[in-house]
């Protein structure tokens, strides 16, 4: 579902990979997911309305031409995508959980991402804007009616799933607007980003035993997070903040893109990619430096790069090359998670048992803790959000930009697929894990244990990275 794993999104069911490959949605009435006991019926209604409001905000200003857009492997036609969002809600809640008949006879042929090839989505006889909006409104009204009672645990799971699926598409629609050079999304996030500066240095994290993954505590989790298990960690040092634009620019200006020794074989092949009109010389949306200033395209406009904001829209290969140039490395996902929500033992010599719910503690996120949930309309300086520091002093482990890790996306021991059989399993061993969420990520998604995953050449997602010392 991630909203763009679907050829533009991915979510609990990996609907589209960067290559446009679609996963198959399989339904298993004996699935092994643990039902959630979190949100009440009233809270689910509020969440349904909130995420739908964002979907409309991201699409209501688009012209008919923009609603279709060009055919690219990494995006969906926006009109198809929002129809698919409504269909996903209908399929898993109204039809699967409540036994309703399809609302539109041909809906599956239009919007089932497992059955509709990505390349054909521009040629479908889709409902027009008004028809799509009416369909989505009908689905939402019926969901609200059903939630007037008390849904059982099984039904609640699928409402939670559908909400998170739309969360992922909201994020995907955000970066699709960047990919397609559309105007900046209107009225989403505070445009007055704080001038907080940089945050240099590392923090020390002691070694010990860390429980990686999600615990069976009743909250909604995805299958690839199951379940928390012990892993041994050696002591390490990790940066307090992600790599900034200024720090990445130093690599560019030192000729780092042209020096073979900084790149893996796969990374060098990507850098010389045949699908570009030139070898990569700097991040995808940067523009050649003029008058001593780096600029980048942001949606349809051009603006100066904020030196202390985290670098974003970089591939895993670029992150890896920067690390080799700087004499650093990417953290494993276990190291990342321990630095984010772990704590030192009382004597400071090892990792303490247990973990925090969030880096800062148990309180839910606010704009003081994290640039999350569109608190701001883009990445902010890495020194901002000091209230969100982890026990070790790492800042912005949640929000601002997704962070690439060194880890391959692999199953935990005992993995069993949830109802979306193809959400995780087909992609094991072919993706890299990202952690932490970004400014456009919902707090429902950006939990510390959530494992995002993309192929290492993706540079259209809202990803940056932080690093570890080699020794």
Cβ neighbours of residue 95 closer than 8 Å, sequence gap 6 or more? 101, 102
Q: Three-state DSSP class for 161?
A: helix
Per-residue pLDDT at 421: 81
* Mean pLDDT, residues 416-420 taken together: 89
Write the burial class of residue 192 (CB in 10 Å: 0-12 exposed, 13-18 middle, 19+ buried). exposed
User: What mean pLDDT, rounded, does the chain reach?
Assistant: 91
Predicted pLDDT of residue 21? 25
| pLDDT at residue 270 greater than cutoff 90 | yes
Q: Which two tokens stand for residue 394?
A: 């790492």
Weakest-pLDDT range from 234-238, 312-316, 384-388, 422-426: 422-426
What dotted CATH number matches 223-471? 3.90.1580.10
Looking at 1.10.1200.10, 3.20.20.20, 1.20.120.450, 2.40.10.340, the CATH number of the domain 5-179 comes to 1.20.120.450
Q: In which band, very low, low, confident or very high, does the pLDDT at 246 lie, cut at 50, 70 and 90?
A: very high
Residues of the chain with CATH 1.20.120.450: 5-179
Cα–Cα distance, 141 to 132 (Å, whole number): 14
- Return the percentage of the chain with pLDDT > 90, whole number: 84
**What is the rounded radius of gyration, in angstroms, for the C-alpha atoms of the chain?**
21
pLDDT digits (tens, 9 = 90+) for 347-394: 999 999 999 999 999 999 999 999 999 999 999 999 999 999 999 999
- Is 35 or 399 the better-scoring residue by pLDDT? 399
Reported as a single tens digit per residue, the pLDDT across 150-187 is 778 889 999 999 999 999 999 999 999 999 999 999 88
Q: Token pair 């031409």 is at which residue?
A: 65
pLDDT band at 17 (very low <50, low <70, confident <90, very high): very low
Question: Of residues 156 and 37, which shows the higher confidence score?
Answer: 156
Confidence of residue 128 (pLDDT cuts 50, 70, 90): very high
- What mean pLDDT do residues 145-151 have? 87
Taking 70 as the threshold, does the pLDDT of residue 65 lie above it?
yes
DSSP string, 304-344: EPPTTSBP-S--HHHHHHHHHHHTEEPPPHHHHHHHHH--B
The tens digit of pLDDT for each residue in 214-242 reads: 998 778 999 999 999 999 999 999 999 99
pLDDT in tens, 136-145: 999 999 999 9
Does the pLDDT value for residue 18 go beyond 50? no
Query: Strands across the sheet with 236-239, in order?
Result: 202-205, 236-239, 468-469, 328-329
Q: How many CB atoms lie within 10 A of CB 272?
A: 12
* Long-range contacts (CB closer than 8 Å, 24 or more residues apart) made by 27-34: 27/96, 27/419, 28/417, 28/419, 28/421, 31/417, 31/418, 31/419, 32/416, 32/417, 32/418, 33/157, 33/223, 33/418, 33/419, 34/216, 34/218, 34/221, 34/226
37: confidence class by pLDDT, cuts 50, 70, 90: low
d(CA 463, CA 246): 16
| DSSP secondary structure letter of residue 182 | P
Q: Measured between alpha carbons, how far is 91 from 85 in angstroms, rounded to an integer?
A: 10
Give the span between the Cα atoms of 100 and 94, in whole angstroms: 6
Q: Does the pLDDT of residue 1 top 80, yes or no?
A: no
pLDDT at 323 over 50: yes
Give me the residues paired with residue 239 across strands.
202
Give me the pLDDT at residue 241, please: 98
CATH 3.90.1580.10 domain residues, the chain: 223-471
Name the least confident of 28-37, 361-370, 403-412.
Answer: 28-37
pLDDT at 46 over 90: yes
pLDDT in tens, 78-127: 999 999 999 999 999 999 999 999 999 999 999 998 899 999 999 999 99
- Spatial neighbors of 196 by CB under 8 A, at least 6 apart, are 308, 380, 381, 382, 383, 384
């Amino acid at each position: 579902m991630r909203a763009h794993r679907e050829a533009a999104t991915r979510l609990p069911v990996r609907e589209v990979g960067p290559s446009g490959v679609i996963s198959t949605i399989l339904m298993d009435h004996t699935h092994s997911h643990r039902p959630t006991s979190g949100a009440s019926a009233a809270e689910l209604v509020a969440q349904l309305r909130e995420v739908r409001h964002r979907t409309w905000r991201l699409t209501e200003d688009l012209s008919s031409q923009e609603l279709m857009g060009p055919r690219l492997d990494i995006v969906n036609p926006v009109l198809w995508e929002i129809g698919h969002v409504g269909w996903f809600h209908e399929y898993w809640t109204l039809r699967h959980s409540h036994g309703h008949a399809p609302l539109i006879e041909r809906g599956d042929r239009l919007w089932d991402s497992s059955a509709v090839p990505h390349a054909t989505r521009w040629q479908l006889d889709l409902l027009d804007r008004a028809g799509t909006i009416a369909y989505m409104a009908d689905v939402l009204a019926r969901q609200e009616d059903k939630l007037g009672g008390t849904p059982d645990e099984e039904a609640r799971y699928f409402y939670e799933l559908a909400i998170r699926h739309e969360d992922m598409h909201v994020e995907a629609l955000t970066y699709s607007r960047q990919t397609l050079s559309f105007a900046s999304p209107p009225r989403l996030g505070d445009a007055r980003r704080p001038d907080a500066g940089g945050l240099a240095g590392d923090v020390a994290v002691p070694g010990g035993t860390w429980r990686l993954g999600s615990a069976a505590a009743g909250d909604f989790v995805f299958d690839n997070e199951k379940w928390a298990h012990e892993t041994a960690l050696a002591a390490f040092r990790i940066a307090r903040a992600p790599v900034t634009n200024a720090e990445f620019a130093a690599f560019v200006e030192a000729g780092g893109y042209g020096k073979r020794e900084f790149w893996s074989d796969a990374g060098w092949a990507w850098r010389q990619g045949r699908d570009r009109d030139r070898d990569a010389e700097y991040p995808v949306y940067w523009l050649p430096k003029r008058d001593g200033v780096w600029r980048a395209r942001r949606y349809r406009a051009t603006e100066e790069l904020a030196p202390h904001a985290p670098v974003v829209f970089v591939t895993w290969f670029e992150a890896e090359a920067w690390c080799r140039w700087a004499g650093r490395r990417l953290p494993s996902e276990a190291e990342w998670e321990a630095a984010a929500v772990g704590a030192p033992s009382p004597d400071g010599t090892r990792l303490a048992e247990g973990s925090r719910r969030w880096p800062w503690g148990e309180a839910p996120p606010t704009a003081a803790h994290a640039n999350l949930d569109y608190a701001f309309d883009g990445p902010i300086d890495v020194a901002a959000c000091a209230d969100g520091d982890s026990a070790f002093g790492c800042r912005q482990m949640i929000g601002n930009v997704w962070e690439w890790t060194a880890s391959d996306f692999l199953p935990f021991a005992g993995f069993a697929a949830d109802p979306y059989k193809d959400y995780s399993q087909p992609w094991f061993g072919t993706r890299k894990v990202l952690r932490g969420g970004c400014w456009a990520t919902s707090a429902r998604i950006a939990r510390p244990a959530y494992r995002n995953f993309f192929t290492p050449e993706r540079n259209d997602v809202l990803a940056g990275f932080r690093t570890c010392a080699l020794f």
